[in-house]
């Protein structure tokens, strides 16, 4: 009826078009249409009312069932139970004998049975149902592709449905309903009758649609929640593994953890990693497997065909069915046997790619057939990527570690060296700085203080101690941090303390938790009762392998010490030991040096050391005294420059030689001896020179040789005269008269006397040198001796032709009594008056004055002669010295020497005052005798 109504309406529509062109017909048509409309109204509201009411009741029941379904679905925990609820409601409400849900894979290429229901029970074969949506004909495929309901009344006779399913379920008529969700068709609902061939009514179909929509919603919700959860869980896992990749230094531990987590996330029984290039037998690096499974043995590794495939193809291989997958037919991959023997039915393997090259593969095996989802694939690829980074990092770390170790070794070596070098340079500096600085006695303490500070900084500890081993005790020498400062100086017996263990074991002591590992510490332990919970102690062992102490770092809280930290502290301990040894050596060297300096400064000889470069590094006090050059002027300069004289011995010269240098105006004679200084390696380190002032000796030598020539002259002159006169008298005495003979004889006598004088002088010198000059002291009148000497000089002068000298005696009136040897005093006066005459060649007055001074008799012989240069005034009293003025006058240079010797022997003294060009005054002082002079 509905159909006829519709036809009429259609006709009516057609007529109304025609009415535009017709008049009467138009009205007729309208009346007919109105009648038909009224008929329709009556039909709907009156005739169909009762039937509608029935249908509405059924409809209400259905709606209630759907509402019930909704709440049941909301409670459902998984897709299977959703499917069961929907399918049961469908069977129940629509009257199907069988229904099932096929899910469409994300790639849209396959359909997979989820749950099948018949008589409120699961259909066992249904979940294994797999439909190829590309290549096979099926109702599912048709519904999926057309997105529309597809009905088959005669299923067994149709080629359009999957025969296997129809046969196994015993279906006669079938409906396929696509489930359209957010992301497209997610599944196909299959429902049918097994009892009869039938068609399905539209209300049955719309009810089916409604139920399907509810189910789709529920499944999608479920999928998105579980996908989200699963995704999140895997995200978290990947992030966790990635974190470990960046934090975990131990590659093996990292790989083991990654395999276990991957296996858990993918829900597989076996997971392993192979390392190697494509087309190599990449060996197994590590494997995780569920308990009870046999490990993959090395002989099976080449036959792990799925990971071989991933390695070769450089992409993930997902094998859902090892037994049947055609890709494993390629025998070069290793076949299926090995996998099946391992019990693996499905395998997923991703290549591990690093910088574009394949370095291995990660594989997951499961004992059941399994279609690997996109999520699974994305997950294993993410893990493979992270493992690639881990392997790369581990390689870098390994390389880095090796370099670090090298650097560390180098550092230790350099440090030891620089310590020594520094010591060297400090020593060199000190050497150059002379004795300016003494050694800082606290330097070893400084080393220890630095060591505890460094130790704390190094390990980020809370406190540190450095204890020195002394006999059977450990003494705190340096401490830092957390109330340990006041421990300095405290002593702990080695035998009972924890620190003492270090002394015995000579190995690092590492305690992560004191309370747990050691129990309560005794009161004799350095850290007892200070609230520390962890410590590392290392022995401080020096270069000579001797243990000098221990270095301990403490932590307030329990703490795991890393191997690197322990190694670092051991290195610090060793460095400290080296520094301590150096400090001790330094102290010793300094002390020795001080001793040497003390010795050097007290020796009389000048001692000068020069370094390799020839610069003066040592200049002792005597060197300064001899040369008149201070050490500050000499140090750091070449010796020849300082002395202004070439110091290097000429080729073939004697080791000891004399050089003359200028000291001011004076000439200074130095005897130089040199010896080479060598370092412990035998290399020349410098030279040591000894300088001895031999000016005096050299002068005497010179004077002696001068004396030999002058004395021979002095002796020869009188001897020649004596010999001449005597021979003349002997041979031709008859030719001379008495007067002439007397004159000759008197010459002989006076020359003999002169000769005697010279010989006497030489004897006096000998006696003076021997120290046994005898004087016979008596109280004499000095005035008489003066008069005698001056008279004699005056008569000599008068008898000499052209002598312009006049003589003056100036004696005080009182008697000049002195305690003296008359003869010797006369000789002194004779000498002084002779010199006065001799050194005033152009004449002038020679005066001899005598007076009484307090406690002494003073005699002064004054002339108006050439005078004596200042620098000679002392030297003229030396043996053999003849002054610049004696060049013309000759002489032995002994007169004044003997005079001083005689005066000194009589207990007096003699000196000279002179003005050059004006004259000289020789004064002698004799001990005063108060009694009246007694004449001989
Ligand atoms: P000599 O016997 O050779 O004169 P002396 O010992 O008596 O030696 O004198 C030493 C030197 O002292 C002399 O060579 C001379 O240069 C200096 N001398 C001594 N007396 C005088 C003087 N009156 N005036 C100047 N020079 C003098």
CB of residue 885 inside a 6 A radius of ligand 1: yes
CB of residue 686 inside a 6 A radius of ligand 1: no
Q: How confident is the model at residue 37 (pLDDT cuts 50, 70, 90)?
A: low
Report whether 274 contacts 285 (CB < 8 A).
yes
| Secondary structure (DSSP) of 30-61 | HHHHHHHHHHHHHIIIIITHHHHHHHHHHHHH
CB of residue 606 inside a 6 A radius of ligand 1: no
d(CA 137, CA 49): 46
pLDDT at 219: 77
CB of residue 893 inside a 6 A radius of ligand 1: yes
For residue 183, CA distances in Å to 6, 86, 379 come to 38, 20, 22
Q: Is 276 helix (H, G, I), strand (E, B) or coil?
A: coil
Interval 175-221: pLDDT, tens: 999 988 777 888 899 999 998 888 888 888 888 888 888 888 777 77
d(CA 869, CA 496): 87
Given a cut of 80, is residue 14 above it in pLDDT?
no
Interval 419-478: pLDDT, tens: 443 434 433 333 333 222 223 334 677 778 888 887 887 788 889 999 999 888 889 988
Given a cut of 70, is residue 641 above it in pLDDT?
yes
Cα three-residue angle 806-812-818, rounded to 5 degrees: 105
Q: At a CB cut-off of 8 Å and minimum separation 6, what does 372 contact?
A: 318, 320, 346, 348
Interval 507-537: pLDDT, tens: 898 888 887 877 656 656 676 667 888 889 9
Interval 540-552: pLDDT, tens: 887 778 888 999 9
CB of residue 901 inside a 6 A radius of ligand 1: no
Model-wide pTM > 0.85: no
Q: How confident is the model at residue 1 (pLDDT cuts 50, 70, 90)?
A: very low
Q: How confident is the model at residue 831 (pLDDT cuts 50, 70, 90)?
A: very high
Q: How confident is the model at residue 611 (pLDDT cuts 50, 70, 90)?
A: confident
State both tokens at 373: 């989802």
CB of residue 920 inside a 6 A radius of ligand 1: yes
Atom of ligand 1 nearest to the CA of 885: 16
The residue with greater pLDDT, 296 or 11, is 296
Residue nearest to atom 5 of ligand 1 (CA): 895
pLDDT at 513: 86
d(CA 837, CA 830): 11
State both tokens at 255: 């790989």
Ligand 1 centre to CA of 877 (Å) is 9
Average pLDDT for 886-893: 70
State both tokens at 154: 């005669």
Given a cut of 60, is residue 632 above it in pLDDT?
yes
- Give the whole-number percent of the chain exceeding pLDDT 70: 82
d(CA 875, CA 911): 11
Atom of ligand 1 nearest to the CA of 863: 23
Ligand 1 centre to CA of 835 (Å) is 6
Interval 839-865: pLDDT, tens: 998 889 999 999 988 888 999 999 999
Q: Counting Cβ atoms within 10 Å, is residue 845 exposed (0-12), middle (13-18) or buried (19+)?
A: middle
Atom of ligand 1 nearest to the CA of 884: 16
Given a cut of 80, is residue 59 above it in pLDDT?
no
The mean pLDDT of the chain is 80
Given a cut of 50, is residue 625 above it in pLDDT?
yes
Given a cut of 90, is residue 318 above it in pLDDT?
yes
Interval 672-709: pLDDT, tens: 888 887 776 777 888 888 888 888 888 777 777 777 77
Average pLDDT for 641-655: 76
Q: What is the dihedral of CA 38, 41, 46, 47, to 10 degrees?
A: 90
CB of residue 554 inside a 6 A radius of ligand 1: no
Q: How confident is the model at residue 591 (pLDDT cuts 50, 70, 90)?
A: confident
pLDDT at 866: 92
């Amino acid at each position: 009826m509905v159909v006829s109504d519709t036809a009429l309406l259609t006709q009516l529509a057609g007529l109304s078009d025609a009415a535009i062109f017709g008049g009467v017909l138009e009205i007729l048509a309208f009346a007919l249409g109105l009648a038909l409309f009224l008929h329709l109204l009556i039909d709907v509201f009156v005739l169909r009312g009762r039937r509608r009411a029935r249908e509405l009741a059924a409809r209400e029941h259905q709606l209630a069932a759907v509402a019930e379904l909704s709440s049941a679905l909301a409670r459902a925990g998984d897709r299977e139970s959703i499917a069961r609820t929907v399918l049961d409601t469908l069977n129940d409400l629509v009257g199907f004998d069988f229904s099932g849900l096929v899910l469409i894979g994300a790639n849209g290429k396959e359909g997979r049975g989820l749950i099948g229901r018949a008589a409120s029970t699961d259909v066992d074969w249904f979940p294994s149902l797999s439909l190829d949506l590309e290549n096979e004909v099926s109702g599912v495929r048709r519904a999926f592709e057309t997105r529309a309901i597809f009905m088959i009344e005669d299923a067994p006779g149709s080629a359009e449905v999957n025969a296997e399913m129809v046969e196994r379920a015993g279906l006669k008529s079938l409906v396929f309903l696509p489930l359209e969700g957010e992301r497209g068709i997610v599944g196909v609902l299959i429902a049918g009758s097994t009892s009869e061939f039938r068609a399905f009514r539209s209300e049955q179909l719309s009810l089916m649609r409604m139920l399907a929509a509810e189910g789709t919603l529920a499944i999608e919700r479920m999928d998105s929640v579980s996908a989200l959860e699963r995704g999140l869980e895997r995200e978290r896992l990947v992030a966790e593994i990635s974190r470990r990749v960046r934090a975990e230094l131990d590659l093996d531990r990292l790989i083991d953890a990654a395999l276990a987590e991957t296996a858990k996330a993918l829900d597989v029984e076996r997971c392993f990693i192979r390392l190697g290039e494509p087309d190599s037998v990449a060996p197994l690096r590590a494997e995780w497997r569920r308990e009870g499974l046999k490990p993959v043995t090395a002989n099976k590794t080449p036959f792990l065909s799925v990971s071989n495939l991933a390695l070769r193809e450089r992409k993930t291989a997902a094998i859902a069915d090892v037994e049947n997958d055609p890709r494993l037919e390629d025998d070069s991959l290793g076949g299926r046997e090995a996998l099946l023997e391992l019990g693996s039915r499905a395998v997923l393997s991703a290549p591990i790619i690093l910088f574009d090259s394949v370095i291995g593969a990660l594989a997951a095996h499961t004992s059941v057939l399994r279609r690997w989802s996109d999520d699974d694939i994305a997950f294993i690829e993410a893990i493979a990527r992270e493992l690639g980074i881990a392997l790369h990092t581990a390689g870098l770390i390994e390389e880095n570690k090796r370099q670090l170790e090298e650097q560390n070794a180098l550092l230790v070596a350099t440090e030891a060296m620089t310590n020594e070098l520094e010591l060297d340079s400090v020593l060199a500096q000190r050497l150059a700085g002379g004795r300016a600085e003494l050694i800082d006695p606290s330097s070893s303490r400084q080393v220890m203080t630095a060591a505890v500070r460094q130790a704390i900084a190094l390990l980020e500890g809370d406190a540190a101690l450095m204890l020195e081993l002394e006999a059977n005790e450990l003494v705190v020498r340096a401490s830092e941090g957390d109330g340990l400062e006041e421990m300095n100086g405290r002593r702990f017996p080695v035998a009972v303390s924890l620190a003492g263990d270090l002394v015995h074991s000579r190995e690092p002591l590492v305690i992560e938790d004191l309370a747990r590992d050691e129990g309560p510490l005794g009161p004799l332990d350095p850290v007892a009762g200070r609230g520390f919970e962890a410590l590392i102690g290392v022995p401080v062992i020096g270069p000579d392998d001797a243990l000098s102490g221990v270095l301990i770092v403490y932590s307030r809280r329990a703490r795991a010490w890393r191997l690197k930290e322990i190694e670092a502290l051991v290195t610090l301990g060793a460095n400290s030991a080296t520094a301590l040894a150096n400090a001790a050596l330094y102290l010793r060297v300094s002390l020795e040096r001080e001793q040497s300096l003390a010795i050097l400064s007290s020796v009389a000889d000048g001692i000068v050391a020069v370094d390799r470069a020839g610069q003066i590094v040592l200049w002792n006090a005597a060197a300064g005294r001899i040369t008149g050059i201070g050490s500050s002027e000499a140090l750091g300069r070449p010796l020849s420059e300082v002395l202004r004289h070439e110091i290097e011995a000429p080729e073939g010269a004697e080791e000891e030689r004399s050089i003359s240098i200028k000291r001011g105006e004076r000439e200074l004679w130095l005897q130089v001896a040199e010896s080479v200084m060598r370092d412990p390696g035998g290399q020349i380190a410098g030279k040591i020179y000894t300088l001895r002032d031999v000016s005096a000796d050299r002068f005497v030598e010179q004077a002696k040789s001068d004396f030999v020539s002058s004395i021979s002259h002095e002796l020869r002159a009188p001897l020649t005269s004596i010999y001449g006169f005597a021979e003349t008298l002997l041979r031709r005495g008859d030719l001379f008269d008495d007067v002439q003979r007397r004159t000759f004889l008197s010459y002989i006598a006076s020359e003999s006397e002169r000769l005697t004088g010279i010989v006497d002088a030489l004897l006096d010198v000998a006696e003076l040198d021997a120290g046994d000059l005898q004087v016979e002291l008596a109280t004499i009148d000095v005035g008489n001796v003066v008069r005698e000497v001056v008279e004699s000089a005056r008569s000599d002068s008068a008898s000499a032709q052209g002598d312009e000298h006049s003589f003056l005696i100036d004696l005080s009136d009182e008697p000049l009594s002195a305690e003296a040897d008359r003869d010797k005093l006369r000789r002194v006066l004779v000498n002084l008056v002779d010199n006065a005459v001799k050194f005033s060649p152009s004449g002038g007055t020679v005066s001899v004055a005598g007076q009484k001074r307090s406690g002494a008799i003073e005699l002064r012989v004054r002339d108006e002669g050439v005078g004596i240069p200042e620098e000679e005034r002392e030297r003229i009293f030396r043996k053999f010295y003849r002054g610049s003025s004696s060049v013309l006058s000759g002489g032995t240079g002994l007169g004044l020497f003997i005079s001083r010797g005689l005066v000194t022997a009589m207990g007096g003294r003699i000196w000279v005052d002179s003005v050059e060009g004006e004259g000289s005054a020789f004064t002698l002082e004799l001990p005063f005798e108060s009694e009246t002079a007694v004449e001989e």
